[in-house]
Structure 1
């Protein structure tokens, strides 16, 4: 199976939530997670994707999705979603290390699945605490559920060359239909 990720490059938490477009789960198995992690290289600590990592990442995605949905609706995030994010972040504490080149790197302790879940939970926390969280939008295309944080207030689609073009073509055909 070839996994195609429809949208990346948004805040990391949104990229994670966008791994579940229209009834699919693009990180349901280690191969899908590995493909997504490869797209996120440089944003996450490298880790080999296995069953434990898939389960940990999907748990964070569920909690982040529930919390973001509540915030976007103007409500408080569910306590169980916040608890899951906090527990994931606490399971692999981060500390800073100084090396001989006098550069500082953030390191985490714990199993790879816990480290990955902690990084993603912290990304979700940062998004939820960001004052711009209310600006997160769902693509306006009828068959798309992807989320994005618009850099421009008039942005309506996740990917203008995909969903935007489909919407424009549909409007054209509707206008010219005889």
Structure 2
């Protein structure tokens, strides 16, 4: 599982010209997002349907992971999307760890006829879609925050951007070229407005 799944998950809060947008605003948004990430989450998109309770649990997990990301990027600033509304660090850490542990996983060797063997990580015991989904997302956050990418985790400082990103090279300052252009344009505007 890619630890960058955690970045995609926390990026379900993003910004557009009108302000912050939540891709998980309703059960339809959660169902669509899970469908887009079904292979990484080991969820069958044909049978997955989000419920209001599941959506609330997933959003609470996202906020806990965003609180951990905010801590990981300090002393730099956290994302401006929700920094003032994030849950406290300790309960967030406890929630992520408990959620990841709720569905223990085990390696499984699969060896189809006339194909090479492959290893998969599967739940060690039966678990519902909600528990598996949240455990996979929590585990992705643990992988990211406990691995080498944490050192490169940043909150994008561009105007109106609320995303976190993993810095891919030492000179990268923004999450995307578009954010870099927006930041440079804002800086140019400020310099010429005050001149």
* Corresponding residue SS for 2:108: strand
Q: Residue 10 of structure 1: CA displacement?
A: 8.2
1:82 aligns with 2:93: yes
Query: What TM-score do you get using the length of structure 1 for normalisation?
Result: 0.79
Whether the aligned pair in 2 keeps the contact of 1:139 and 1:157 (CA below 8 Å) is yes
User: 1:127 Cα shift?
Assistant: 1.3
Secondary structure, aligned partner of 2:13 = coil
Gaps of 5+ in 1: 1-8
Aligned mate of 1:133, from 147, 150, 171: 150
What is the aligned counterpart of 2:181 among 136, 157, 165? 165
2: CA distance, partners of 1:117 / 1:79: 19
Work out the CA distance in 1 between the residues paired with 2:42 and 2:120: 11
- Structure 1 Cα separation of the partners of residues 161 and 3 of structure 2: 16
Counterparts of residues 53-132 of structure 1 (less than 5 Å): 53-73=54-74, 78-101=89-112, 102-108=117-123, 109-132=126-149
Q: 1:176 to 1:78 in 2, by over 3 A?
A: closer
In the alignment, is the contact (CA less than 8 A) between 1:10 and 1:149 conserved in 2? no
Deviation at 1:144, TM superposition (A): 0.9
For residue 3 of structure 1, what is the aligned residue in structure 2? none
Higher RCO, Cα 8 Å, sep 6+: 2
Root-mean-square deviation (Å) = 2.6
Matched, 1:42 2:39: yes
After TM superposition, give the deviation of residue 43 of structure 1 in Å.
2.2
What are the Cα deviations for residues 77-109 of structure 1, in whole angstroms up to 9, with x where unaligned? 832112111211122121222334243222123
Question: 2:103–2:135: 8 Å Cα contact kept in structure 1?
Answer: yes
Q: Indicate conservation of the 8 Å contact 2:43/2:129, yes or no.
A: no
Q: What is the count of residue pairs matched by the alignment? A: 167
TM-score (norm 2): 0.73
8 Å CA contact 2:99–2:135 kept in 1: the answer is yes
Contact 1:10 1:148 in 2 (8 A): no
The CA deviation at 1:174 is 5.1
Give unpaired runs (5+ residues) of structure 2. Answer: 76-87
